[in-house]
Amino acid sequence: MRRVHFGRMVLALLISTIVISVVTFTQTRDAKAESIVSGTTGITYTNSMMGYTLTLPVSWKGQYRVHSNYSDDSHLVTSFTNKKAEDGAGVGVLFTIIRYSGNKAPQGDFDTPTDGRLVLRSDAYVYAIKLPTDDQSTKATKSDYQIMQANIDSIVKTIKVVPIINVSDPTYQARAMTDNNGLTNNMAYSFANGEKDAVSGESLLMINGEFTDTKVIIRNKRSLVPIRAAAEAFGADVRWNGATQTIRIKDVNKEIIMKIGLTEATVNGKTVSLDVAPMMDHGHTYVPLSFISASLNKAVGYLPAETQTTDKYLNAIADNNAAKGLAYNPIVWIDDPTKMNNSTSVNETLIWLKSQMKQGMDSLKDNIDTADRGNLKGTSLNDPTFAQIDNAINNTYYIGNVGRYEMFQGPYLTLVDPKAKIIYFYTVAHSIGAIWKADMNSSDTFVPMYFAD
């Protein structure tokens, strides 16, 4: 698996191609995965997505920013930067905390500039700190930068494990995998609750609105999923009898009995035919998805993949086919029909979505000098990019449904959960794709892709 190399290249990549949350913390901030609490003895930063907490000196108040939860194919990263030293090239890194999955961590204490220095171990993860390998300050900020750097050893001593919050957003980031010969055709997906290495054409599985790392097998144009995934998706009791090679799936109304290798099953005692038989794969039992879904009254669907390139993405507003690609791999989805939109018309959702995106544009214009990209300071409100975004908002159109989400193409490829009133954007650049929850009160909503360095 590829590792992230530290230095200007990393933060520049974060800033220019991945959507990140960058906030100047000068007061208590409560959020789903992060919180900052300022006190007289220090500033406690807690990242519940990554599962750690640390304490910064009081003197850092108003002097730093956090670029958090950037994930690549093997780990999550939080970068702390000197706010004064930041510029469009990504300088100003003070230190970075990395969380490696236990089985993907470098060997030993990995005290190298590339891997970082081991600072903490938990049952499932290994945490490391990485320091910049070059002086990333300007002459005007060198003194402040060096003072803050001097605090890092004391900060390391405060790092502790905290419970991890499982984020329920359908968020993922994907990047091309590499081997010794360079790029492969495979993609590495990092989801909120797992990771998946997907070969070309292999399907992703979305269950009840969330992406999973579950393997999907396609046989005779039919999808098969592990029985554990079926249990989670359908809320049913699933039993496996290894001696008889029999699968029993039961909910309040239906009982399904199938056997490995047989294309006949019973539903409430009545014999029915299957398009594809249940099977074993590497010790796991796989069952036909569409048959079980129909029997248990669940909605299922399939979204083909489209070739994802930056140029094709930017032209998606004029290319209906390009707009359909939500991932580098096809998506199989299972959802509860009662959680899907059955009250609001698509047109009503579209009107609401456009109004929300207009609000995001207004927020950017009102806060142009403090938006995430340093190179936006002083940008004229007559910049033609604003007209480009506005035109894309006005021409936003409906594509189709992906489970409980309605998919639209506008400034970004967009997923909307009409019932929960949540908007997700999909962006892709330099073979990196990401789905992220949009905050229309943020000045940075339309910065990625349109104002990227």
350-384 pLDDT tens trace? 999 999 999 999 988 888 877 655 457 778 888 88
8 Å CB contact between 221 and 289: no
Listed in order, the ranges of the chain carrying CATH 3.30.457.10 are 222-296
**165: helix, strand or coil:** coil
Terminal-to-terminal C-alpha distance of the chain: 27
Of 422, 436, 363, 413, whose CA–CA distance to 69 is shortest?
436
Question: Which two three-digit tokens encode residue 308?
Answer: 């994802």
Write 318-325 long-range contacts (CB < 8 A, 24+): 320/399, 320/409, 323/399, 323/409, 323/413, 324/399, 324/400, 325/413
8 Å CB contact between 437 and 416: no
* DSSP for residue 327: S
Counting Cα atoms < 13 Å in the Cβ hemisphere of 11 gives: 30
CA distance 233 to 306: 26
Q: Is the dihedral of CA 412, 4, 11, 23 positive or negative?
A: positive
8 Å CB contact between 156 and 149: no
Of 211, 217, 177, 212, whose CA–CA distance to 197 is shortest?
177
CA distance 332 to 307: 17
**Whether pTM exceeds 0.85:** no
pLDDT tens digit at each of 453 positions of the chain:
222 222 332 333 332 222 222 222 222 233 345 667 777 788 888 887 788 889 999 998 878 877 755 555 457 788 888 877 765 444 678 888 988 876 566 665 555 555 678 888 877 788 888 887 666 566 667 788 888 889 999 999 999 988 776 556 788 888 777 655 555 678 888 887 678 888 888 899 999 888 988 899 988 888 999 988 887 788 889 999 999 999 999 988 899 999 999 999 999 999 999 999 999 998 899 999 989 988 988 899 988 886 555 444 445 455 555 556 788 889 999 998 888 876 678 999 999 999 999 999 998 888 887 765 545 777 888 888 899 999 999 999 998 889 999 999 899 889 999 988 999 998 876 567 888 888 888 777 887 677 754
8 Å CB contact between 234 and 249: yes
Residue 401's DSSP bridge partners are: 406
Describe the strand order of the beta sheet including 182-191 as a list of residue ranges: 194-198, 182-191, 172-179, 432-437, 422-429, 413-417, 405-409, 397-402
Fold of 222-296: Copper Amine Oxidase; Chain A, domain 1 (3.30.457)
Burial class for 172, CB neighbours closer than 10 Å (0-12, 13-18, 19+): buried
